[in-house]
């Protein structure tokens, strides 16, 4: 069996991002980009080991980042050079004797899929290969701000990583080309020595984080990647509000004519509060008190239907979406049934769900307890969320 290693050059300063942190250390969902990338390879059955080239002053930092991970023993750190090519060359020298296939992958392409790693690792057993995508946009040669030539797009490919090589070929290329540090990827080195490089179908999600605008997209991709292993998730919600004079009665976003209304910091829509707590619970995101605190004057008199829209957005930013809601209102009076279709329609719209995925029921308490005495109303809900598709 060939033994396959991946080299991740991570010694760069990432100056184009403009911030104080080199971009491979920028956190996404609390985890640095480099760790996301390392994890993708560490968890892949085709990868036997990982060599990361890091700047001399970040060795201890990277060691600490990976120390507690369950794949720490798969990782070897080497000191990189000033240029990417020098970093890869140092990492090639640190490969164990048993390694015969090498992939090279950018530290800041954290969304690389297991399928893509597998495709490149397979191809590299036969010879040099790179992930690439057909060029989507027209490319022109420009000199001094003027177009000189329009290239034939059908022959152009946009190259990604991983790139894969027989170990001997990559080692020889780095030895031979060590005086010329102008190569921007490893395939260019072996091409310069006359080795053919095969194209492997890349992945548009395998984005390279280059500018701050790339981060929210990567955040979304990584959320759905992790979300899919834990979700669909189920959550429950429960809420109670006191009935008082001089307040409107708002339930499920419907204002119901009645002599009393529910008391609260917001519009006190007890049904929506239970539904929001169920959704947040299903997503592992706490409760509405955390997201919309009643000590915050911004939420005084808040329309709960607006907050439901916000919860929907919050889920989607985490790569999740509502999948279904079922709720029960505990109300002695007035009669709720005539208003239920409108409550369902309101919630379905806010959560971007079909009507049949949102159910509302109502029950009395047969005169017992605080609901039965018309001192207050309560609501319970369960909700399911699933990965955003
Ligand atoms: Mg409440």
Residues 256-274 have pLDDT tens digits of 999 999 999 999 999 999 9
Q: How much distance in Å is there from the Cα of 264 to the middle of ligand 1?
A: 7
User: Taking the CA atoms of the chain, what radius of gyration do you get in angstroms?
Assistant: 28
Q: How much distance in Å is there from the Cα of 292 to the middle of ligand 1?
A: 11
Q: Classify strands 146-150 and 140-143 as parallel, antiparallel or unpaired.
A: antiparallel
**Mean pLDDT over the full length of the chain:** 92
Q: How much distance in Å is there from the Cα of 29 to the middle of ligand 1?
A: 29
List 377's β-bridge partners, or say none: 241
Neighbours of ion ligand 1 (CB under 5 A): 239, 273
Q: How much distance in Å is there from the Cα of 304 to the middle of ligand 1?
A: 9
pLDDT of residue 332: 97
Q: How much distance in Å is there from the Cα of 239 to the middle of ligand 1?
A: 5
Q: How much distance in Å is there from the Cα of 302 to the middle of ligand 1?
A: 11
Q: How much distance in Å is there from the Cα of 109 to the middle of ligand 1?
A: 43
Give yes or no for a contact between 26 and 19, defined as CB atoms under 8 angstroms apart.
yes
Q: Where are the domains of the chain?
A: 4-227, 234-387
Residues 41-88 have pLDDT tens digits of 998 999 999 999 999 999 999 998 887 666 788 999 999 988 899 999
Record the tokens describing residue 88, joined without a space: 């890869």
Predicted confidence (pLDDT) at residue 295 exceeds the cutoff of 60: yes
Predicted confidence (pLDDT) at residue 17 exceeds the cutoff of 70: no
Q: How much distance in Å is there from the Cα of 368 to the middle of ligand 1?
A: 22
Q: How much distance in Å is there from the Cα of 272 to the middle of ligand 1?
A: 8
Q: How much distance in Å is there from the Cα of 133 to the middle of ligand 1?
A: 51
Q: How much distance in Å is there from the Cα of 146 to the middle of ligand 1?
A: 63
* 299 pLDDT tier (thresholds 50, 70, 90): confident
Q: How much distance in Å is there from the Cα of 269 to the middle of ligand 1?
A: 7
Kindly report the number of other CB atoms within 10 A of residue 53's CB atom: 25
Residues 152-202 have pLDDT tens digits of 999 999 999 999 999 999 999 999 987 777 788 999 999 999 999 999 999
Q: How much distance in Å is there from the Cα of 388 to the middle of ligand 1?
A: 28
List 52's β-bridge partners, or say none: 8, 77
Q: How much distance in Å is there from the Cα of 263 to the middle of ligand 1?
A: 9
Q: How much distance in Å is there from the Cα of 370 to the middle of ligand 1?
A: 16
The lowest-confidence range among 67-81, 236-250, 369-383 is: 67-81
Q: How much distance in Å is there from the Cα of 371 to the middle of ligand 1?
A: 15
Record the tokens describing residue 349, joined without a space: 């719209």
Q: How much distance in Å is there from the Cα of 238 to the middle of ligand 1?
A: 9
Q: How much distance in Å is there from the Cα of 289 to the middle of ligand 1?
A: 9
pLDDT of residue 304: 97
Q: How much distance in Å is there from the Cα of 44 to the middle of ligand 1?
A: 46
Burial of residue 331 (number of CB atoms within 10 Å: 0-12, 13-18, 19+)? buried
Q: How much distance in Å is there from the Cα of 259 to the middle of ligand 1?
A: 20
Predicted confidence (pLDDT) at residue 350 exceeds the cutoff of 80: yes
Q: How far apart are CA 59 and CA 138, in angstroms?
A: 42
* Sign of torsion over alpha carbons 70, 73, 75, 78: positive
What is 234-387's CATH number, 1.10.357.10, 3.30.1330.50, 3.40.309.10, 3.30.43.10?
A: 3.30.1330.50
Q: How much distance in Å is there from the Cα of 351 to the middle of ligand 1?
A: 19
Predicted confidence (pLDDT) at residue 16 exceeds the cutoff of 60: no
Fold of 4-227: Spore Coat Polysaccharide Biosynthesis Protein SpsA; Chain A (3.90.550)
Q: How much distance in Å is there from the Cα of 380 to the middle of ligand 1?
A: 11
Q: How much distance in Å is there from the Cα of 58 to the middle of ligand 1?
A: 48
Q: How much distance in Å is there from the Cα of 295 to the middle of ligand 1?
A: 13
Predicted confidence (pLDDT) at residue 14 exceeds the cutoff of 90: no
Q: How much distance in Å is there from the Cα of 9 to the middle of ligand 1?
A: 51
Placement of tokens 């208003």 in the chain: 339
pLDDT of residue 344: 98
pLDDT of residue 226: 65
Q: How much distance in Å is there from the Cα of 389 to the middle of ligand 1?
A: 31
Question: Quick one: the chain helix, strand, coil %, rounded to 5?
Answer: 40, 30, 35
Element (H, E) at 325: strand 320-330
Peptide bond into 222 cis (omega under 30): no
Q: How far apart are CA 172 and CA 185, in angstroms?
A: 15
Predicted confidence (pLDDT) at residue 319 exceeds the cutoff of 80: no
């Amino acid at each position: 069996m060939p033994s396959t290693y991946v080299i991740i050059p991570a010694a760069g300063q990432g100056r184009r991002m403009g911030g104080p942190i080199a971009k491979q250390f920028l956190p996404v969902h609390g985890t640095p980009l480099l760790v996301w990338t390392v994890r993708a390879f560490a968890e892949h059955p085709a990868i036997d080991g990982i060599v990361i080239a890091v700047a001399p002053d970040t060795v201890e930092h990277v060691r600490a980042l990976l120390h507690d991970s369950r794949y720490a023993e798969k990782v070897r750190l080497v000191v990189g050079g000033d240029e990417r090519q020098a970093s890869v060359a140092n990492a090639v020298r640190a490969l164990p004797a048993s390694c015969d296939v090498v992939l090279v992958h950018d530290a800041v392409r954290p969304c690389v899929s297991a399928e893509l790693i597998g495709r490149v690792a397979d191809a590299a057993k036969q010879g040099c290969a790179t992930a690439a995508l057909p060029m989507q946009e027209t490319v022109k040669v420009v000199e001094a701000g003027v177009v000189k030539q329009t290239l034939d797009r059908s022959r152009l490919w946009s190259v990604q990583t991983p790139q894969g090589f027989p170990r001997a070929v990559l080692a020889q290329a780095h030895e031979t080309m060590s005086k010329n540090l102008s190569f921007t990827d490893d395939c260019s080195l072996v091409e310069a020595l006359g080795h053919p490089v095969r194209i492997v179908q890349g992945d548009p999600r395998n984005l390279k984080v280059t500018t701050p605008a790339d981060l929210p997209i990567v955040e979304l991709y990584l959320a759905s990647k992790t979300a899919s292993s834990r979700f669909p998730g189920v959550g429950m919600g429960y809420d109670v509000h006191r009935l008082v004079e001089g307040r409107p009665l708002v339930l499920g976003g419907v204002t119901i004519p009645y002599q009393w209304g529910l008391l609260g910091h917001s519009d006190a829509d007890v049904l929506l509060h239970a539904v929001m707590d169920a959704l947040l619970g299903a997503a592992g995101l706490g409760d509405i008190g955390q997201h919309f605190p009643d000590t915050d004057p911004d939420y005084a008199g808040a329309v709960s239907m607006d907050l439901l829209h916000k919860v929907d957005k919050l889920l989607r930013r985490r790569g999740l979406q509502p999948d279904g809601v079922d709720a029960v209102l505990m109300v002695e009076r007035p009669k709720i049934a005539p208003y239920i279709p409108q409550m369902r329609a309101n919630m379905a719209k806010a959560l971007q769900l079909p009507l049949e995925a949102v159910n509302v029921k109502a029950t009395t308490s047969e005169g017992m307890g605080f609901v039965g005495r018309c001192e207050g109303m309560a609501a319970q809900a369960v909700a399911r969320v699933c990965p955003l598709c």
